[in-house]
């Protein structure tokens, strides 16, 4: 196992040379997004952000891979659950924590009353294609979805359409408003075994819209099969039908490039700790605050409602909705600053470049599985560019409802040094039993050799178990 490179300060050395002055520079850079240099200057001649594409080749990705300290003895392929911080982000996180411990007053007084949160939102707005008053950091996807679902106004009999592959993080707040207010939650059956294009998903939703439908909620990429839904077209369909669009983006920030204005969604909740590889308890929350038909919203779990929203009579568009959700009492500022460092690092690599790398590797995995298993088993993740993602779900066995076999396989793969997880889901909405699949995540710290190794281990395990 690789030893992590020594962090530049130690918590026991009273700041270890990390003076208040240097701290201000660090914290200011992270907050404002000016921390360029996390990756590029050490490795490449001057280049930045999306301009890097010309310099992208295998050696570049090798350098990116080296930024991660993840245990090389284990091939970690469960980013869908949580990611891993790159070394430099971890070092910064440590430095921020050290400063918070050695100069607690500094955090409060010298970072400013707003802890640099405005600068963070300006940076995020720039990176995710929206305005500053529409984006803030949350604690994770679940936290963002809670803020959205509980913030919206629904009445008894209103209906929200969801896919039949949503995560409990979205289902839980939906079930609360179902039980509390009598809102009907209607699952729409989306294509699973026969997903070929985005139009199928639009059709599935469209035919379920009724007079009572008020909103749609869908995963941009489902956690069950890794299928990418046509978010822009679904949001357009919602708009045309006067519906609110809510997107669960748990598997998107840090994996695919996002432009919220281009997507046209009303609300989008994502994590910072999964594909974006920020610290735990960080997330990204988008709330449209411009254009027509802004839905009435009651800011929840916030310490600013009283003076930021109530003073405007809670009139949508009249207040900064992201600001209204930015403060939830005392925050984990070091984690937020480190999250911004991770975001800035991703910008340096180029978010389109990352998407191409991650989805390219995932497509390679899908093709390799098909080749190695010669048609045996079922690949639940479509290898179609518009539906592809960094998640791959596969079951090699004849009986795809046998959960015991898939769980055993996860265990054997773990013993062989490959960490993946399983998911279970209904293929058809009215199926009597769940189907099971292995779910494999491929990210920046992987390359084709990892994928080849996994496919071999998977095939060996399969032949042993089948024989
Ligand atoms: C689709 C989906 N939504 C929500 C969540 C919850 O994510 P978080 O841990 O960021 O709250 C997950 C977690 O894996 C997920 O897959």
| Atom 8, ligand 1: residue with shortest CA distance | 141
User: Per the structure block, which two tokens stand in for 37?
Assistant: 């240099």
In this structure, what token pair is assigned to residue 442? 């491929």
Distance 160 CA to ligand 1 centre (A): 19
Ligand 1: which residue has its CA nearest to atom 4? 169
Q: Looking at ligand 1, which atom is closest to the CA of residue 145?
A: 4
List ligand 1's pocket residues with C-beta within 6 A. Answer: 80-81, 140-142, 167, 169-170, 219, 223, 248, 250, 271, 283
Q: Strands 378-379 and 391-395, how do they pair?
A: antiparallel
Q: Point out the ligand 1 atom lying closest to the alpha carbon of residue 169.
A: 4
Determine the residue of 141, 174, 221, 256 to mutate for testing ligand 1's pocket, defined as the one with the most ligand atoms within 8 A of the Cβ atom.
Answer: 141
Ligand 1 atom at minimum distance from 142 CA: 11
Nearest CA to ligand 1 atom 16: 223
Residue 300 in tokens = 């929840």
Q: How far is the CA of 23 from the centre of ligand 1 (A)?
A: 33
Q: How buried is residue 59: exposed, middle or buried, by Cβ count under 10 Å (0-12/13-18/19+)?
A: exposed
Give the domain 353-466 fold.
3.90.1150
Q: Are strands 244-248 and 213-219 parallel, antiparallel or unpaired?
A: parallel
Give CA–CA dist 217/221, Å, rounded.
12
Q: Which atom of ligand 1 is nearest to the CA of 222?
A: 1
pLDDT tens digits for the chain (467 residues)? 333 333 333 222 333 445 666 656 666 655 555 444 444 434 333 333 334 444 678 899 999 999 999 999 999 999 999 999 999 999 999 988 988 888 887 666 667 767 788 889 999 999 999 999 999 999 999 999 999 999 999 999 999 999 999 999 999 999 999 999 999 999 999 999 999 999 999 999 999 999 999 999 999 999 999 999 999 999 999 999 999 999 999 999 999 999 999 999 999 999 999 999 999 999 999 999 999 999 999 998 888 999 999 999 999 999 999 999 998 888 999 999 999 999 999 999 999 999 999 999 999 999 999 999 998 999 999 999 999 999 999 999 999 999 999 999 999 999 999 999 999 999 999 999 999 999 999 999 999 999 999 999 999 999 999 87
The reply to whether the predicted model has a pTM over 0.85 is: yes
For residue 144, the ligand 1 atom closest to its alpha carbon is 11
Q: What spacing in Å lies between the alpha carbon of 422 and ligand 1's midpoint?
A: 15
Ligand 1: centre distance to CA 281 (Å) = 12
DSSP conformation letters of 370-433? HHHHTT-SEE-S---GGG--SEEEEE-SS-TT-HHHHHHHHHHHHHTTEE-EEEEE-SSTT-SS
Q: Class assignment of domain 117-346?
A: alpha beta
Nearest-angstrom CA–CA distance, 188 and 155: 21
Domain ranges of the chain: 117-346, 353-466
Give nearest CA residue, ligand 1 atom 15.
250
Pocket test for ligand 1, best of 140, 163, 167 (most atoms within 8 A of CB): 167
For residue 250, how far is its CA from the centre of ligand 1 (angstroms)?
5
* 113 Cα: distance to centroid of ligand 1 (angstroms): 31
Q: What's the rounded Cα separation, in Å, for the pair 28 and 129?
A: 22
Q: Cα of 15 to ligand 1 centre, how many Å?
A: 36
Residue with the smallest CA separation from ligand 1 atom 7 is 141
Closest of 120, 76, 129, 146 to residue 253, by C-alpha: 129
């Amino acid at each position: 196992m690789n030893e992590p490179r020594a962090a530049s300060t130690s918590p026991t050395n009273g700041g270890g040379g990390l003076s208040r002055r240097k701290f201000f520079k660090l914290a200011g850079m992270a907050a404002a997004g000016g921390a360029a240099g996390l990756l590029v200057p050490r490795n490449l001649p001057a280049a930045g952000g999306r301009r890097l594409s010309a310099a992208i080749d295998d050696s570049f990705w090798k350098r990116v891979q080296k930024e991660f300290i993840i245990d090389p003895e284990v091939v970690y392929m469960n980013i869908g659950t949580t990611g891993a911080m790159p070394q430099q982000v971890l070092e910064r996180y440590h430095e921020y924590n050290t400063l918070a411990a050695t100069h607690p007053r500094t955090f409060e007084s010298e970072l400013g009353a707003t802890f640099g949160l405005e600068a963070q939102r300006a940076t995020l707005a720039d990176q995710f294609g929206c305005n500053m008053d529409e984006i803030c950091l949350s604690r994770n996807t679940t936290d963002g979805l809670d803020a959205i679902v509980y913030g919206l106004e629904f009445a008894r009999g209103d209906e929200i359409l969801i896919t039949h592959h949503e995560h409990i993080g979205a289902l839980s707040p939906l079930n609360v408003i179902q039980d509390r207010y009598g809102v009907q939650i209607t699952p729409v059956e989306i294509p699973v075994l026969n997903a070929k294009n985005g139009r199928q998903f639009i059709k599935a939703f469209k035919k379920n819209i009724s007079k009572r439908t008020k909103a749609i909620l869908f995963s941009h990429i489902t956690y069950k099969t890794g299928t990418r839904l046509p978010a822009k077209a679904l949001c357009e369909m919602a708009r045309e039908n006067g519906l609110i669009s809510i997107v669960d983006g748990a598997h998107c920030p840090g994996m695919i490039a996002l432009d919220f204005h281009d997507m046209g969604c009303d609300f989008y909740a994502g994590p910072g700790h999964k594909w974006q590889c920020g610290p735990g308890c960080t997330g990204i929350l988008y709330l449209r605050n411009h254009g027509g038909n802004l839905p009435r919203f009651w800011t929840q779990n916030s310490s600013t409602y009283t003076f930021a929203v109530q003073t405007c009579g809670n009139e949508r568009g009249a207040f900064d909705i992201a600001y209204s959700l930015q403060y939830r009492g005392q925050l984990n500022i070091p984690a937020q600053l480190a999250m911004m460092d991770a975001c800035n690092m991703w910008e340096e690599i180029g978010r389109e470049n990352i998407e191409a790398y991650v989805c390219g590797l995932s497509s390679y995995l899908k093709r390799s599985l098909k080749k190695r298993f010669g048609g045996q088993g079922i690949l639940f993740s479509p290898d179609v560019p518009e539906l592809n993602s960094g998640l791959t779900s596969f079951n090699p066995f004849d009986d795809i409802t046998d959960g015991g076999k898939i769980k055993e396989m996860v265990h054997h793969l773990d013993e062989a040094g490959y960490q993946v997880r399983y998911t279970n889901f209904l293929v058809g909405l009215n199926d009597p039993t769940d189907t099971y699949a292995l779910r494999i995540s491929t990210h920046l710290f992987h390359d084709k050799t990892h994928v080849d190794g996994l496919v071999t281990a998977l095939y060996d395990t399969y032949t042993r178990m089948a024989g």
